[in-house]
Amino acid sequence: MLDTLATAPPASGATDRPPALPATERPLAGLTVLDFSQFLAGPSCALRLADLGARVIKVERPETGDLCRRLYISNLALDGDSTLFHAINRNKESVAADLKDPAHLAWVRRLVARADVLIQNFRPGVIERLGLGYEAARELNPRLVYGTVTGYGAVGPWRDKPGQDLLAQALSGVTWLNGDADQGPVPVGLSIADTLAGAHLAQGILACLVRRGVTGRGGLVEVSLLESILDFQFEALTTFLNDGGKLPERSRLRNANAYLAAPYGIYETADGFLALAMTPIPRLGELLGCPPLLAYAEPERWFTERDAIKGLLAAHLRGRPTADWLAILEPADVWCANVFDWPTLTAHDGFAVLAMTQEVARANGASLRTTRCPIRVDGAILPARRGAPRIGEDTEAIRRELES
């Protein structure tokens, strides 16, 4: 167990850190969010609202708390909780409450009556049985904006299926867009359905808060992992839906987008890799000194003969280092880039100037280096300093507030 996690050294030539927007000037300052959710989707929404200035109070089970506290990645822990939990629950408070205990439920209901936003991701029907479903919460607080995340929606044959990221990816079809044509389904290597659902929930909540400012009425916002990852595929799905149901064809070599022609992909060079986006093939042949590419003058062939073109490119690009190719292509305004790993990225001045990392800490000094909110407001970034809470560390203080 670590008290402080090691951080990458600062990049050379790093500029001064951008100004930080004070907490009292952030757009959601003065609003209170109750976060009953666990794992990633709901807490990521609450995280973003906290970054934007809201007070976020996690409502957790006594002793065990949010199960994400034990959801480890790389077996990495900090001060008794997973680093994943720390990363997604910074800048929040925590109260411990057993919602099956009438006494606990009574004071939590009082908390709901005072809140602006409630977020929950219980399986369909569970929170209703506990007495805090939308209709019950609305009776307590008509101005409440109530956000809910499910795996696959509140109705239908998948209603009670576990709402887990890989399962949502598998059902959504997105895994058939990744990898080369001779591979099976390849999942995205991140919890993309969770993260997208959290972002969509935040969008819906903010929209309802705007409406509340006009009408005084709260509202119900519902998102699901599956709907979010389906929306994420809107370009590809729209093509499928309007192309007679024809399935996308992944390239057999260096596939990066099943619907885009050559040269779109990532190619090995003599010392690394090079990313190439949309570029006319004959133009690429001229710049790279690859005469066989000059024969592909007709744009339709860039797709119908995509694999042959990519094969020629792949063989040619292995002949020189990445920097040599970039020195030719970038001045010609060809869309291309290095392919960095994280050590290379975090040591680069282009990363340093963004000031995308921050350190958050608990009161006991346990600290974590993590990313910051990617949003800027009025030219300022929105950093946090407070680390993720311990289970119930704010229970007594918040209960005293309810008595005042």
Residue in 81, 182, 194, 349 annotated catalytic: 194
Query: In this structure, which amino acid lies at residue 326?
Result: L
Sign for the pseudo-dihedral over CA of 96, 102, 107, 113:
positive
The DSSP H or E segment spanning 45 is helix 41-51
HSE (CB half, 13 Å, CA atoms) of 257?
17
The answer to whether the beta carbons of residues 319 and 290 sit under 8 Å apart is: no
HSE (CB half, 13 Å, CA atoms) of 220?
10
d(CA 255, CA 260): 9
> Catalytic site residue 194?
yes
Q: What six digits make up the tokens of 367?
A: 């600290």
User: Parallel, antiparallel, or unpaired: how do β-strands 219-224 and 336-338 relate?
Assistant: unpaired
Q: CA 237 from chain center: how many Å? A: 21
HSE (CB half, 13 Å, CA atoms) of 91?
28
Q: Is 266 helix (H, G, I), strand (E, B) or coil?
A: strand
DSSP 78-144: ETTEEHHHHHHSTT-EEEE--TTSHHHHHHHHHHHHH-SEEEE-PPTTHHHHHT-SHHHHHHH-TT-
The answer to whether the beta carbons of residues 252 and 181 sit under 8 Å apart is: yes
| Residues annotated as part of the active site | 194
